[in-house]
Amino acid sequence: METKSLLAFAILAAFVAPAHAQTASLSPDDTSGQYARLHPLAPPSPGSIEALPAMPAVQTQSSVAYISGGIGGDEQEAMRAAAQNYNLHLLFAEQGSGEYLSGIKVTITSQQGAVVLSAISDGPYFMARLPAGHYRISADAGDGRPQMRAVSVPAHGAFAASFYWHGAS
């Protein structure tokens, strides 16, 4: 019985000591919020990108953040989890088979005609965080038949659109 108690104490000490060391090194009068107290077993917060190792890199162009990808199950799961952070969601696929497409040239222009974002999709999913408003999306699979859509991006929630091409692969 004594061995079990000693083992339980050793396991508990292994978890408590690192947590105590982390909090002891923080200044008690730090009000900047720059340093967060860490717990060795703290679960990632919901929607946390840190918990998703397959998350494509967030890119920024003209102050518009976007991600694209979705090749493979892990990356698709990561992008679905991050979707709440973006208010424009695009999907690219082949008509009929539903086969996902990548390498789509995406151009987003404002209502005034200014190019807000121009990028190549790294996978079938493309998500952007845009100011609320009216935009025109051009999605070009390189087949000479670019698709255009007029969209209204909301301040809250998201606008989703799917683009399909016949025999694009």
pLDDT in tens, 65-96: 999 998 888 888 888 888 999 999 999 999 99
Q: If you count them, how many residues does the chain have?
A: 169
For 162, how many CA atoms within 13 A lie in the half-sphere containing its CB? 8
Straight-line distance from the first to the last Cα atom of the chain, in angstroms, rounded to the nearest whole number = 67
Within the chain, strands assigned E span: 59-61, 64-69, 88-94, 105-110, 115-120, 125-129, 133-140, 147-153, 159-165
- DSSP label of 134: E
Q: What pLDDT is recorded for position 110?
A: 95
Q: What pLDDT is recorded for position 31?
A: 47
Phi and psi (nearest 5°) for 75?
-70, -35
Query: For 128-166, what is each residue's pLDDT tens digit?
Result: 999 999 999 999 999 888 999 999 999 999 999 999 998
Please name the fold of domain 49-165. Answer: Immunoglobulin-like (2.60.40)
Average model confidence (pLDDT) across the chain: 77
Residue 114: both structure tokens together: 């200014």
Residue appearing with tokens 């990028």: 119
Strand-pairing partners, residue 93, are 100, 164
Q: What pLDDT is recorded for position 74?
A: 87
Q: Are 92 and 86 in contact (CB under 8 A)?
A: no
Residue 76, class by beta-carbon neighbours within 10 Å (0-12 exposed, 13-18 middle, 19+ buried)?
middle
Q: Is the pTM of this model over 0.85?
A: no
Domain ranges of the chain: 1-42, 49-165
